[in-house]
Chains A and B, each alone.
Chain A
């Protein structure tokens, strides 16, 4: 197996995640363009023109190329599974030069910017293990402006679903134009504090416009989308009808005493790209 070839694939994955947006995101922005007017429409038009330009010129669409974040489903029968982590870290380091990516790994104690977008626990990788021989990697580089608006709350279970909805809407109002709306909201409900936040981020992997398979949860998503868009915050917080493109919920059982809600805010640049690596080293960026 040629590790260099696989690493080239991961670099290509990172580049695609930075320079192109998924079709579902573009379609929902085009829909926003058709319902907005005035300054709001101008913002969406700029966004769409920027997406077009970034793809055509192969440049990152936003200067904040984010924290390099990967969700990996590794087939347990993939040979040399132990090499994957090192290979991905190496790809991030190289992609920083090649794509290029902005150096975004800052030491929290002395504020020194560590070159290469790597460091302790960075890139952020979430592992899952599946049967088979393929490895599926999703890259979702995460920008700082939207991540700053993410929040965890440990509600009292008595607050119930209405308490969850109130928390989300209050936080969106506080965030205003800061997270670069129209945003995509990932909500993790249940689990513990850490799992709720992780589920919130995992929820962002779902394409925009796709509802939860459970009708009751889909209805909550739909209600939140409508109520958030009624706030009038609009694109970039300048007023308008489109404040969120979508709300996605993932859930886990909660402890009897807890109702954790993790809200992960993603900017309109809902960057996602996928690749699969086969057991013989062949790969495809999808």
Chain B
């Protein structure tokens, strides 16, 4: 199924989504990689200068260009989500995250975290940075740029029909990555 939702996704939206579904989202995303996860987790939600509950979390370290006083997105595809495995349970709970966008798999133990917090993990095509950049209609803000640098800073992006995102872990405790892990059993005998 293909869905089009506004961010923040509500409970009903999230409950509709099952692994393998395709979804396009419009609204506001904030980017965060390893360093910004670590930095944000050291703070109280009240100390964070933007409202995480109204945004989606995007695992992304964009390539930006400053033209006069304005930031422009050059290329902004997803980064490897598994690097955030160690932070995400606490991060989702603490900041009220309902939508995570990234690439690659996340640790299987997180399926229960997505279920418990009524949250979804969706993936965008890795490396499709130019394509993703064209779905970002506005750079609203940037935080921690001086401390963390371009790729690790938190960028606030307004996006329109951002996708196609594939639901990889849904709010029912399912993971799309399980399907091919099952196939490995067949291949193992060929490895001997």
Contacts and interface: CB of A to CB of B under 8 A. Distances in A.
A155 interface: no
Given A63-B63, A176-B105, A238-B166, A267 B131 contact: no
B41 interface: no
Contacts of A100: 63, 65, 74
Interface in B143-192: 149-152, 164, 166, 168, 176-177, 179-180, 183-184, 186-187, 190-192
Given A59-B74, A101-B63, A166-B191, A268 B127 contact: yes
A46 interface: yes
Given A145-B79, A234-B180, A64 B61 contact: yes
Given A50-B125, A113-B151, A233-B180, A63 B131 contact: no
Interface string A51-70: 00110010111111100000
A4 interface: no
Interface string B116-141: 00000001011111110110000000
Contacts of B186: 230
Contacts of A39: 20, 22, 166
Contacts of B130: 50, 53-54, 57, 59-61
| Among A60, A143, A237, residue most surrounded by chain B Cβ atoms (within 10 Å) | A237
B63 A238 contact: no
A99 B126 CA distance: 21
Contacts of A112: 149
Contact of A103 (B20, B151, B176, B180): B151
B168 A238 contact: yes
| Among B104, B127, B150, residue most surrounded by chain A Cβ atoms (within 10 Å) | B127
B28 interface: no
B65 to A, nearest CB: 5
Contacts of A101: 63
Interface in A1-56: 39, 42-43, 46-47, 49-50, 53-54
Contact of A145 (B104, B150, B151): B104
Contacts of A192: none
A220 interface: no
A100 B74 CA distance: 8
A63 B77 contact: yes
A165 interface: yes
B179 A63 contact: no
A46 to B, nearest CB: 4
A27 B104 CA distance: 24
B88 to A, nearest CB: 15
Nearest to A44: B125
A46 B128 contact: yes
Contact of B177 (A47, A49, A59, A176): A176
B166 A267 contact: no
Report, nearest first, the 5 A-B pairs whose CB atoms are least far apart. A113-B149, A180-B126, A50-B128, A232-B183, A46-B125
Interface of A: 39, 42-43, 46-47, 49-50, 53-54, 57, 59-65, 100-104, 106, 111-113, 143-145, 148, 162, 165-166, 169-170, 173, 176-180, 227, 230-239, 267-269
22 contacts: A39-B20, A43-B125, A46-B128, A47-B125, A47-B128, A49-B131, A54-B130, A61-B75, A62-B127, A63-B75, A63-B129, A100-B74, A101-B63, A113-B151, A144-B80, A166-B191, A178-B104, A178-B105, A234-B180, A235-B125, A237-B180, A239-B179
Given A63-B62, A231-B183, 9 more contacts: A46-B131, A59-B75, A65-B75, A100-B74, A176-B180, A177-B177, A227-B187, A232-B180, A236-B103
